[in-house]
Amino acid sequence: MVTSVLVLAVVLLVVILVALVLGYNKIRTADVRVSEALAGVDVELTRRASLIPSLVHTVQTFAAHEKGVLDHVTDARAALATATGGTSVADRSAAERELDGALRPVLALGRSYPELNSSSNFLNLQDNLADTENKLAFARQYYNDAVATLNKTLTTIPWMFVAPLAGVSEREYYQING
């Protein structure tokens, strides 16, 4: 009788230990996926920001008196570069909104300056920005999917009991709008 209780206790202990290890690994894997996804967003934000100096230079060539518009874009680009070096998703999102707002008038200058709109350099930069925006949208969606998976895992039984041991907490979603 004592040996069967002892065997049952050992089996139960092994099952609990295996569950803890599996839960820990599952949560840490989801956390790493979120970090990788955020790094993907940063790559696209950096790619986008690297196109800005060429765009500003091209526009300056055709519309030198639009200095205020171009300065706003340059400042927004600098803020985005600073935000991608930080840890806050909200800061990245706010900096991205600022850059979006600054880019709209620059891209609209193509309508005011037909010679700018016919410039192959300007058109190429517009295409590159559009391509980067598509990649950025995908990267944001991938990040939000990874966050949803992690947050769901952290709040469901039995993983919620392992989460404190893994040292992982819920992550914030990437929100581009207001």
Torsion of CA 89, 94, 100, 101, to 10 degrees: 170
pLDDT of the residue at 123: 83
Q: For residue range 48-81, what is the model confidence (pLDDT) as tens digits? A: 888 888 888 888 777 766 777 888 888 888 888 8
More confident residue, 103 or 146: 146
On the question of a cis peptide bond just before residue 164, with omega within 30 degrees of 0, the verdict is: no
- 44 close to 132: Cβ distance less than 8 angstroms: yes
pLDDT of the residue at 91: 87
- CATH numeric code, 2-166: 1.20.1440.20
| Alpha carbon distance 43, 135 (integer Å) | 10
pLDDT at 13 over 80: yes
| Alpha carbon distance 41, 128 (integer Å) | 16
Neighbouring CB atoms inside 10 A of 82's CB total: 12
* Tokens 């230079």 -> residue: 57
Helix residue ranges per DSSP H, the chain:
2-62, 67-84, 89-112, 114-117, 120-154, 159-166
Q: For residue range 75-114, what is the model confidence (pLDDT) as tens digits? A: 888 888 888 877 788 888 888 888 888 888 888 877 777 7
| Per-domain boundaries in the chain | 2-166
